[in-house]
Structure 1
């Protein structure tokens, strides 16, 4: 009897010890993979919503810009009015500069609705007016050709950014170097221009500008996608739209300097 009681006591102690043992690694991490997959799915959903919002706003900006450029390019009275009132260009430039500083430097302001939308609308209208003023001095065929080239380049860069494994976001050094070269070229132009127009120097400057802002377009697009080394926060949809819109506008302006012909 004593031996049977002893065996039963030992078995009961072993059962208690088994119940008090900590869970194994597999048991402890059984739900981790499911939680991780759920969080990953949520992040992808947020990122896709963010991308759709940015491109929706960007399409509206580009439509307004193309409409204003077309107005000053094809409508002779509007073209004559804008060319004879250059003070409007300066006013739009100051408005563009002020709204750009506000949207770029004031993080709380560009996240605050409706002020961010209002500033973005004012910024877009001022930039579109500036591009319409510049385009009015080029002939119609040059403007249409540059619009087509810009659209093809933007589409190609977007497809490249979506499909390529090349991480453009890690090439800040290359972009910085090209920015320094552009600055030096701008200084040279400012010195040379008073003594006369140098076509090859302006052509080099325009080609470098087109290359630089094509790379910036790929950089900002991959920052938007968020699948590379660096990514932009989904809260910064206004800043992301602003960056890509400026890349496209500057690309168009440099292409216009390269291939554009003056209006007779």
Structure 2
């Protein structure tokens, strides 16, 4: 029985990280294209409706997958939803990156991948899952801070906001990875691999965006 459980968990972990790798590969490829190609960069920067549409699609599908258990556990709709999230999220993140300097984007991608790899593949011996409720409260406070600092914008406040945001979602990444790895008293349902890949993907994308900062 123990061997069966171990193999089952190993299969789930491989599935989640396999999907996550494909998602990140596609998203950062899109970021690279949007940043390095002057033709693509000009096109996405002038088509504001495409960015708004991608944001709306991204938000709606993400919220639906998070809140609707039956949908995210039903194949192939759950996988289709994850594909839509990846496509729309990649366009959205690529558009944001296109307004930044090429070297800045490359360095930010590298730092994000290093942080994500360190967190995902080098889990600490300490359990951070009990901090989830606390982190949600911090997110609300952080959003309010972001709202207030827009009225007194400066390069210093922008850097502070970006670093704090990246740190916050790095902590979320730790918690989400530990939840997926079964650090809590329950084990992840095999059909929840889409949810696990989605949450970890969102954490990494948000780390990238906060490190990139506003332009």
- TM bucket (normalised to shorter chain) is over 0.9
Q: CA deviation at 1:73?
A: 0.6
Q: Report if aligned partners of 1:222, 1:231 keep a CA contact under 8 Å in 2.
A: no
With structure 2 as the length reference, what TM-score do the two structures score?
0.94
Q: CA deviation at 1:231?
A: 4.9
| Pairing 1:181-220 to 2, within 5 Å after superposition | 181-190=141-150, 192=151, 197-220=153-176
Deviations 1:111-163 (A, max 9, x none): 111111111111110000001100000111001000110111111112331xx
Q: Report if aligned partners of 2:12, 2:190 keep a CA contact under 8 Å in 1.
A: yes
- Larger radius of gyration between Structure 1 and Structure 2: 1
Q: Say yes or no: does 1:100 pair with 2:62.
A: yes
Higher relative contact order (CA closer than 8 Å, sequence separation 6+): 2
2:202 to 234, 246, 249: 246
Q: CA deviation at 1:55?
A: 0.7
| Pairing 1:55-134 to 2, within 5 Å after superposition | 55-134=17-96
Q: How has the CA–CA distance of structure 1 residues 63 and 223 changed in structure 2, closer, same or farther, with 3 Å as cutoff?
A: same
Cα distance in 2 for partners of 1:225, 1:80 equals 42
What is the SS of the residue equivalent to 1:166?
Answer: coil
Cα distance in 2 for partners of 1:87, 1:206 equals 26
Corresponding residue for 1:52? 14
Aligned residues: CA RMSD = 1.7
Gaps of 5+ in 2: none
Cα distance in 2 for partners of 1:82, 1:135 equals 10
Q: Report if aligned partners of 2:120, 2:174 keep a CA contact under 8 Å in 1.
A: yes
Q: CA deviation at 1:172?
A: 2.3
With structure 1 as the length reference, what TM-score do the two structures score?
0.77
Q: CA deviation at 1:184?
A: 2.2
Q: Say yes or no: does 1:168 pair with 2:128.
A: yes
Q: Say yes or no: does 1:152 pair with 2:114.
A: yes
Cα distance in 2 for partners of 1:134, 1:123 equals 16
Cα distance in 2 for partners of 1:82, 1:134 equals 9
Aligned length: 215
Q: Report if aligned partners of 1:64, 1:128 keep a CA contact under 8 Å in 2.
A: yes
Cα distance in 2 for partners of 1:200, 1:185 equals 14
Cα distance in 2 for partners of 1:97, 1:228 equals 28
4+ residue segments displaced more than 4 Å = none
Deviations 1:151-202 (A, max 9, x none): 11111112331xx220011222441342133122023135x1xxx6322222
Q: Report if aligned partners of 2:127, 2:183 keep a CA contact under 8 Å in 1.
A: no
Q: CA deviation at 1:228?
A: 3.8
